[in-house]
């Protein structure tokens, strides 16, 4: 448990606007500040920093919200203790020794310590004359300089059942920590732990702060199928752990972040990146064992606005390119595509033609639309009228996704030229697609609003849909309570609001957290991050923010809502004389009216 005084001290030293401004460009909007949300892709700013009352942020687009601790947890992909440590370093505050410790479970800090121990083990195994020969042979075959091997911390996992397990055990790590941290698994047959990485070149995955958050392992030699005929995967990557989320991590960004002002080179995998760094292209990165995501794009956008996709030239690589392009565009990144003739991947191209030639094609990489235009024309030979119509439809669909009207006009002219068609006709088809999409979105909106109002799609508070009217009243009450803590003791018709009166489990937890905070010396929003998920914190901040924007928040408003909630509760309890709260309430009413 992190002491309340520690959080108070950090928030007093760190201005929310200063912290957010180091990640987001903010502009004044009345008494608050506004900018493009770093947590989802948008073109119109909906991310707002509120400077009055308890300073907090809230995005009206994706619903992310919270205080300075919540912001760092989201933006740096940290858990609560790690976010406190991050902020403490920024503020120059020394934390108490127990402040970053988890009360239960396996926390990020422990996983990171274990990963360092494992990385040293893999490095030692690579250098061991009797054990690491397969790893050294592979490094020699790929012509990797020793400086690059050291830079990336490459190692070797012996083809052994439990050498890593035994090493970690000797260094004080438990079987649970090894399993949660994805260093070891547990055998279904014997129940014994075993090493997950065996007979592989090991590649530590390091985040932008320099912490080893996970591992990737490349199999060596000719992998043998199991009894079912299944071959082990070429690459084995750590699963998600308290320290690692695949969809939010970019390999080698810790190195590339200081070399990417001009652009980042996005590769398919670890070895592509390592080989490019060895050739002098230190701005190369890769996503980690998963499809390219919006989270990857937003993380890269923090460091550059230009990305060149250098995926393999085979079918799988081209499909991955087609999926990554719109994601990068949505994040506001200028994405271009590398064209490699005569080689499958960057490493092969550099070995064949040299680094200087690779730099030439890098500078000549094609913009997104030109790449898609070439791909569509290659798929549909326009000499055939039927194929020409298909190509036109595909190009119009591409152009219709572009938000800028000027950019659309440029692409329309280019498509018309390529198709030998009238630009007016192409523009008419594009505008028709845009109108159709907007009509579909408009038709779907009422249903979405109804479902949202009834809480039918509410994953943060699944109890909402069971009692939507009571849940709406609950949110208003909690918003008022967060705004004015004195309402927790405000007696309405003889009694204050009680936790058991709230209809949802989330609402009761929020009430309990406020109550506990006040009794401990004063509630602080930073305390929520310890026992609520980030989505729950965002919901809480929405309740608080909605009340802040209203002018009527006095005791009479709280009284009105509490009476409305009690009326709803009484409707449900009619005929349930054995209900404890119902009995207590009726008793209070009788006492109040007794002569």
Q: Can you give 343-397 as a three-state secondary structure string?
A: CCCHHHHHHHHCHHHHHHHHHCCEEHHHHHHHHHHHHCCCCCHHHHHHHHHHHHH
Q: What is the DSSP letter of 233?
A: P
Q: In this structure, are 466 and 481 located in the same domain?
A: yes
Whether pLDDT at 49 is above 50? yes
CA distance 578 to 307: 66
The pLDDT confidence band at residue 458, using thresholds 50, 70 and 90, is low
Domain at 330, CATH number: 3.40.1360.10
In contact, 213 and 78? CB cutoff 8 Å: no
Q: Which long-range contacts (CB under 8 A, 24 or more apart) does 526-531 make?
A: 526/7, 526/8, 526/10, 526/11, 526/67, 526/68, 526/69, 527/4, 527/7, 528/66, 528/70, 529/66, 529/67, 529/69, 529/70, 529/73, 529/80, 529/83, 530/1, 530/2, 530/80
Query: Mean per-residue pLDDT for 204-227?
Result: 86
pLDDT score at 570 = 87
In contact, 569 and 581? CB cutoff 8 Å: yes
Domain at 30, CATH number: 3.90.580.10
Query: Mean per-residue pLDDT for 551-562?
Result: 91
Domain at 152, CATH number: 3.90.980.10
Query: Mean per-residue pLDDT for 176-192?
Result: 90
Structural domain containing residue 175: 108-244
Q: Is residue 100 part of a domain?
A: no
Query: 269-289: per-residue pLDDT in tens?
Result: 899 999 999 999 999 999 876
Q: In this structure, are 60 and 118 located in the same domain?
A: no
The domain boundary residue, chosen from 244, 271, 287: 244
Question: pLDDT higher for 266 or 42?
Answer: 266
Q: In this structure, are 257 and 353 located in the same domain?
A: yes
List 59's β-bridge partners, or say none.
Answer: 47
Q: In this structure, are 86 and 173 located in the same domain?
A: no
Q: Is residue 96 part of a domain?
A: no
Q: Is residue 367 part of a domain?
A: no
Query: 143-166: per-residue pLDDT in tens?
Result: 999 999 999 999 999 999 999 999
Q: Is residue 208 part of a domain?
A: yes
pLDDT score at 445 = 57
pLDDT score at 234 = 87
The pLDDT confidence band at residue 83, using thresholds 50, 70 and 90, is confident
Q: In this structure, are 430 and 384 located in the same domain?
A: yes
Q: In this structure, are 150 and 194 located in the same domain?
A: yes
Q: How far is C-alpha 361 from the geometric centre of its chain's CA atoms?
A: 32
Query: Mean per-residue pLDDT for 193-211?
Result: 93
In contact, 80 and 73? CB cutoff 8 Å: yes
Whether pLDDT at 426 is above 50? yes
Query: Mean per-residue pLDDT for 505-514?
Result: 92
The pLDDT confidence band at residue 588, using thresholds 50, 70 and 90, is low
Structurally, how many domains does the chain consist of?
A: 5
Query: 221-249: per-residue pLDDT in tens?
Result: 777 777 777 788 888 999 888 888 887 78
The domain boundary residue, chosen from 426, 449, 472: 449
Dihedral sign from CA coordinates of 464, 466, 472, 473: negative
Q: Is residue 456 part of a domain?
A: no
pLDDT score at 595 = 46
Q: Is residue 323 part of a domain?
A: yes
In contact, 183 and 169? CB cutoff 8 Å: no
Q: In this structure, are 122 and 228 located in the same domain?
A: yes
C-alpha triplet 545, 547, 552: angle, nearest 5°: 150
The domain boundary residue, chosen from 244, 279, 297: 244
Query: Mean per-residue pLDDT for 173-194?
Result: 91
Phi and psi (nearest 5°) for 441? -65, -40
Query: Mean per-residue pLDDT for 524-548?
Result: 85
Whether pLDDT at 382 is above 50? yes
In contact, 34 and 45? CB cutoff 8 Å: yes
pLDDT score at 479 = 92
CA distance 68 to 2: 16
Q: Is residue 518 part of a domain?
A: yes
Q: In this structure, are 85 and 137 located in the same domain?
A: no
Q: Is residue 122 part of a domain?
A: yes
**Distant-in-sequence, close-in-space partners of 276: CB < 8 Å, separation ≥ 6:** 265, 267, 284, 310, 346, 347, 350
Question: pLDDT higher for 361 or 463?
Answer: 361
Q: In this structure, are 425 and 511 located in the same domain?
A: no
pLDDT score at 443 = 74
* Range name among 197-206, 417-426, 565-574 with the lowest pLDDT average: 565-574
* Range name among 90-94, 216-220, 510-514, 567-571 with the lowest pLDDT average: 90-94
pLDDT score at 115 = 96
In 3-state terms the chain splits into helix, strand, coil percentages (rounded to 5) of 55, 10, 35
Token reading at 282:
């230190």
- Mean pLDDT for the chain overall: 86
Dihedral sign from CA coordinates of 288, 291, 292, 293: negative
The pLDDT confidence band at residue 420, using thresholds 50, 70 and 90, is very high
Q: In this structure, are 577 and 559 located in the same domain?
A: yes
pLDDT score at 269 = 86
Of 10, 31, 53, give the one whose Cα is nearest residue 485.
53
pLDDT score at 77 = 75
CA distances from 418 to 335, 386, 434, 443 (A): 22, 16, 22, 35
Token reading at 533:
């998920």
CA distance 477 to 508: 12
Query: Mean per-residue pLDDT for 172-182?
Result: 93
Q: In this structure, are 205 and 146 located in the same domain?
A: yes
The pLDDT confidence band at residue 399, using thresholds 50, 70 and 90, is very high
pLDDT score at 318 = 87
pTM, entire model: 0.70
Q: In this structure, are 398 and 472 located in the same domain?
A: no
């Amino acid at each position: 448990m992190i002491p309340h005084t520690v959080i108070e001290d950090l928030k007093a030293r760190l201005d929310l606007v200063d912290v957010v401004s180091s990640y987001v460009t903010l502009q004044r909007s009345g008494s608050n500040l506004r900018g493009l949300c770093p947590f989802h892709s948008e073109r119109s700013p909906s991310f707002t920093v509120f400077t009055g009352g308890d300073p907090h942020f809230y995005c009206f687009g994706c619903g992310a919200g919270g205080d300075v601790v919540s912001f760092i947890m989201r933006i740096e992909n940290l858990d609560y203790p790690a976010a406190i440590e991050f902020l403490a370093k920024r503020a120059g505050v020394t934390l108490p020794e127990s402040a970053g410790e988890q009360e239960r479970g396996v926390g990020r800090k422990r996983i990171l310590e274990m990963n360092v121990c494992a990385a040293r083990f893999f490095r030692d195994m690579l250098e061991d004359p009797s054990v690491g020969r397969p790893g050294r042979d592979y490094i020699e075959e790929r012509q990797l300089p020793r400086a690059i091997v050291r830079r990336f911390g490459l190692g070797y996992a012996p083809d052994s059942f439990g050498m890593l397990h035994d090493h970690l055990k000797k260094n004080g790590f438990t079987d649970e920590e090894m399993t949660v941290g994805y260093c070891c698994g547990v055998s279904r047959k014997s129940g014994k732990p075993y090493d997950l990485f065996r007979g592989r070149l090991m590649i530590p995955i390091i985040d932008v702060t320099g912490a080893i958050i996970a591992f990737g392992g490349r199999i060596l030699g000719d992998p043998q199928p199991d009894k079912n005929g299944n071959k082990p995967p070429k690459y084995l990557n750590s699963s998600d752990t308290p320290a690692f989320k695949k969809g939010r991590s970019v390999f080698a960004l810790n190195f590339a972040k200081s070399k990417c002002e001009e652009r980042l080179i996005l590769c398919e995998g670890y070895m592509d990146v390592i080989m490019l760094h060895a050739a002098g292209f230190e701005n190369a990165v890769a996503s980690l064992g998963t499809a390219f995501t919006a989270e990857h794009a937003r993380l890269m956008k923090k460091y550059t606005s230009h990305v060149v996709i250098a995926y393999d030239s085979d079918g799988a690589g081209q499909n991955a390119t087609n999926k990554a392009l719109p994601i990068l565009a949505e994040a506001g990144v200028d994405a271009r595509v590398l064209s490699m003739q005569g080689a499958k991947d960057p490493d092969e191209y550099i070995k064949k033609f040299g680094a200087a030639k690779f730099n030439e094609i890098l500078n000549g990489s094609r913009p997104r639309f030109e790449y898609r235009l070439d791909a569509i024309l290659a798929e549909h030979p326009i000499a055939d009228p039927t194929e020409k119509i298909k190509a036109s439809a595909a190009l119009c669909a591409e152009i219709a996704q572009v938000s800028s009207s000027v950019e659309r006009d440029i692409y329309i002219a280019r498509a018309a030229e390529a198709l030998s068609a009238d630009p007016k006709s192409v523009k008419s088809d594009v505008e028709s697609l845009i109108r159709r999409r907007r009509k579909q979105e408009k038709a779907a909106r009422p249903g979405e609003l109804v479902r949202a109002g009834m809480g039918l799609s509410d994953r943060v508070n699944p109890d909402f849909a069971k009692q939507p009217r009571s849940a709406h009243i609950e949110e208003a009450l909690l918003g008022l309570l967060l705004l004015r803590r004195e309402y927790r003791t405000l007696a309405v018709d003889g009694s204050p609001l009680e936790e058991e009166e709230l209809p949802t489990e989330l609402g009761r937890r929020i009430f309990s957290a406020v109550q506990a905070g006040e009794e401990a010396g004063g509630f602080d929003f930073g305390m929520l991050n310890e026992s609520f998920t980030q989505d729950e914190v965002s919901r809480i901040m929405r309740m608080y923010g909605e009340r802040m924007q209203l002018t009527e928040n006095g005791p009479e408003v709280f009284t009105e809502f509490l009476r409305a909630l009690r009326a709803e509760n009484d409707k449900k309890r009619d005929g349930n004389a054995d209900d404890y709260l119902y009995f207590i309430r009726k008793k209070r009413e009788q006492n109040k009216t007794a002569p």
